[in-house]
């Protein structure tokens, strides 16, 4: 052998041996990982749940009847507006106009057009003819929530700009004094974002992809889509009334329209509490289509990259109303601001943010008054489940940190929100601290069950640690057992907690079981932003709500109304 080549050969052999060893180690580790991951089966999950339940102490509380309160306290339950919906722009002029605005105009970044216009207006140092300085304040708040504050006389701004005129008509019908100052502050379009794969399939069958063909495809079970809560979302309300008009153009509340609407709802896995929830469901593949405004669609790389935008319904022209009786100074200030907002500079800036889309879509021009809209919302509430009942379990954290005002507000929120539960649904209640207490077994929400529910809520007391996932595992088991009685029912759990779990089983154990059974877990982080609860809600397309003492009653009422 040539000695000069020996070091090279040895080096090559060494390198080969090293590579082989690395590959062996990788394959060995991979095999170990695969070996540890047993296939998920009904038997595995059931056995795991059974094993967990054996170590969880559950107390069965005695059923006690309470008083069912039917009074309407919706106005009193509205949260403090400055805490829940702080000003996004605060004017400091001698005469200041406050405007309620939707979030796509008064949010952040590409959604902050109206904020920027108001700030620029305020910087100009404009003055009235009498020398007083003018300014504008902006408050970002959903169309429906704005309507609630105004019509209940809880908080009255000087101006209101919902996404479309539907909520303006609704507010007037409910007693608000509105004057239309401008039909359009900035242009937008409501639409359905539909995956390009689903759009191609629809085009092959129906010849085109339109609002009507999409709705027909959902009715016939060929497409699953989502839309937003029509009590607070202008886009969701727009979809609702246009679907009903499509079903019967002469009477959107006819028996034929109602029958079609029930069929439609069977193709709607859930009505989304927020637009974010719907977009997340679309990204995960749960939904093939969902309602969205064009400005949000064009600013979303995910939607623009994989979905077509199909416009529909009434104009989202963002009308501007004055509210109540403005003083001459206030009216002059509002007019000055409106003239500035409609000038070339601000309008060109709006286009940069995706407003004022260039399309030839023919909008719905049929007139809807406020009473029609209220009737459509009531129909939605009564028929949204398409005859399918819901089995729901409420799980309440009564650990020591919930003592005092938090528990009082929790009780109030459950009692007030339960008024939104239809009697054909099935409801039960768990509470937990160190251990778990079955306060009320699941049963149909008849008047008697409502009375037992009220009694169970009233007797809850606080103390101990926070065994959140113990309670959740017990809840999953109760839901699964009761589903055998009503197998076609939808199942859901509402979990309210004010802190991280510090007792019992961990998140991973509970999450795997929740994931397998597919039960949506709606979570409420009470006086605390809790990441684990957010993660829990994301498993099966539910929502997480960050609530506090001030707004928990309002938030739960809206959530129950949307889902129950």
DSSP codes, 354-415: T-S-------------HHHHHHHHHHHHHHTTTT--EEEEEEEE-SGGGTTHHHHHHHHHHH
pLDDT of residue 16: 40
pLDDT of residue 361: 86
CB-based contacts of 507, cutoff 8 Å, min separation 6: 469, 501, 532, 535, 536
**Residue % of the chain over a pLDDT of 70:** 91
Instruction: Summarize pLDDT for 297-351 with one digit per residue, the tens.
Output: 998 888 899 999 999 999 999 999 999 999 999 999 999 999 999 999 999 999 9
pLDDT of residue 416: 85
This prediction has a pTM of: 0.82
Per-residue pLDDT band for 23 (boundaries 50, 70, 90) equals very low
How far apart, in whole angstroms, are the C-alpha atoms of residue 425 and residue 388? 9
In angstroms, the Cα distances linking 450 to 206, 209, 430, 522 are: 47, 46, 15, 21
Per-residue pLDDT band for 30 (boundaries 50, 70, 90) equals very low
Beta-strand (E) ranges in 267-368? Answer: 289-293, 307-311, 320-323
**Is 70 exceeded by the pLDDT of residue 497?**
yes
Q: What share of the chain is helix, strand, coil (3-state, %, to 5)?
A: 50, 15, 35
**Is 70 exceeded by the pLDDT of residue 557?**
yes
Closest Cα to residue 426, out of 369, 493, 499?
Answer: 493
In angstroms, the first-to-last Cα distance of the chain is 85
Is the model more confident about 441 or about 386? Answer: 441
Whether 413 and 73 have beta carbons less than 8 Å apart is answered as no
User: Which of 335-349, 489-503, 528-542: highest mean pLDDT?
Assistant: 335-349
What is the arithmetic mean of pLDDT over 548-554?
73
Whether 532 and 512 have beta carbons less than 8 Å apart is answered as no
pLDDT of residue 172: 95
In angstroms, the Cα distances linking 492 to 167, 428, 468, 519 are: 30, 11, 16, 6
Helix (H) or strand (E) holding 511: helix 507-517
Structure tokens at 310: 């199909």
**Is 70 exceeded by the pLDDT of residue 73?**
no
Count other C-beta atoms under 10 Å from residue 324's C-beta: 15
How far apart, in whole angstroms, are the C-alpha atoms of residue 338 and residue 346? 11
Whether 361 and 535 have beta carbons less than 8 Å apart is answered as no
For all residues of the chain together, what is the average pLDDT?
Answer: 87
How far apart, in whole angstroms, are the C-alpha atoms of residue 61 and residue 55? 19
What is the arithmetic mean of pLDDT over 63-83?
80
Whether 111 and 188 have beta carbons less than 8 Å apart is answered as no
Per-residue pLDDT band for 554 (boundaries 50, 70, 90) equals confident
Q: Is residue 364 classed exposed, middle or buried when 0-12, 13-18 and 19+ CB atoms within 10 A define those classes?
A: middle
């Amino acid at each position: 052998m040539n000695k000069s080549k020996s070091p090279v050969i040895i080096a090559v052999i060494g390198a080969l041996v090293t590579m082989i060893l690395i590959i062996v180690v990788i394959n060995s580790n991979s095999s170990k990982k695969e070996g540890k991951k047993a296939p998920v089966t009904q038997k595995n999950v059931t056995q795991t749940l059974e094993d967990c339940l054996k170590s969880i102490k559950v107390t069965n509380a005695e059923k006690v009847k309470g008083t069912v309160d039917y009074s309407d306290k919706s106005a009193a339950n509205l949260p403090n507006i400055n805490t829940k919906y702080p000003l996004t722009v605060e004017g400091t002029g001698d005469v200041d106009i406050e405007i309620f605005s939707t979030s796509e105009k008064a949010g952040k970044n590409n959604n902050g057009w109206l904020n920027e216009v108001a700030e620029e207006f305020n910087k100009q140092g404009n003055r009235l003819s009498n020398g007083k300085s003018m300014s504008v304040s902006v408050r970002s708040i959903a169309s429906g929530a704005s309507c609630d504050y105004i019509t209940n006389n809880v908080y009255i701004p000087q101006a209101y700009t919902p996404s479309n005129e539907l909520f303006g008509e609704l507010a007037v019908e409910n007693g608000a004094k509105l004057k239309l100052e401008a039909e359009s502050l900035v242009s937008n379009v409501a639409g359905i974002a539909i995956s390009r794969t689903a759009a191609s399939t629809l085009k092959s069958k129906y010849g085109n992809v339109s609002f009507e063909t999409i709705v027909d495809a959902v009715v016939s079970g060929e497409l699953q889509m989502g839309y937003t809560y029509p009590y607070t979302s202008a886009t969701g309300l727009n979809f609702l009334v246009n679907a009903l008009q499509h079903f019967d153009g002469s009477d959107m509340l006819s028996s034929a329209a109602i029958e079609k609407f029930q069929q439609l709802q069977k193709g709607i896995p859930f009505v989304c509490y927020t637009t974010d929830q719907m977009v997340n469901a679309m990204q995960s593949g749960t939904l093939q289509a969902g309602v969205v405004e064009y400005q949000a669609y064009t600013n979303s790389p995910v939607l623009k990259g994989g979905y077509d935008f199909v416009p529909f319904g009434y104009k989202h022209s963002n009308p501007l109303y004055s509210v109540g009786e403005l003083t001459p100074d206030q009216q002059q200030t509002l007019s000055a601001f409106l003239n500035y907002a409609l000038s070339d500079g601000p309008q060109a800036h709006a286009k940069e943010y995706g407003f004022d889309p260039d399309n030839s879509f023919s909008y719905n021009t049929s007139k809807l008054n406020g009473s029609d809209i209220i009737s459509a919302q009531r129909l939605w509430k009564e028929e949204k489940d398409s005859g399918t009942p819901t089995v729901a379990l409420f799980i309440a954290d009564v650990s020591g940190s919930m003592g005092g005002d938090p528990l009082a507000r929790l009780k109030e929120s459950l009692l007030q929100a339960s008024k939104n539960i239809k009697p054909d649904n099935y409801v039960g209640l768990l509470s937990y601290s160190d251990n778990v207490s079955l306060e009320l077994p699941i049963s149909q929400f008849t008047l008697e069950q409502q009375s037992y529910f009220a009694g169970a809520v009233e007797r809850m007391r606080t103390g101990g640690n926070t065994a959140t996932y113990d309670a959740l595992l017990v809840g999953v088991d109760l839901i699964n057992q009761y589903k055998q009685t009503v197998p076609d029912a939808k199942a859901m759990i509402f979990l309210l907690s004010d802190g991280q779990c510090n007792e019992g089983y961990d998140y991973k154990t509970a999450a795997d079981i929740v994931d397998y059974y597919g039960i949506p877990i709606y979570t409420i982080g009470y006086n605390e932003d809790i990441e684990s609860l957010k993660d829990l809600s994301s498993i099966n397309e539910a929502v997480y709500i960050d609530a506090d003492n001030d707004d928990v009653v309002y938030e739960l009422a809206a959530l129950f109304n949307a889902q129950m």
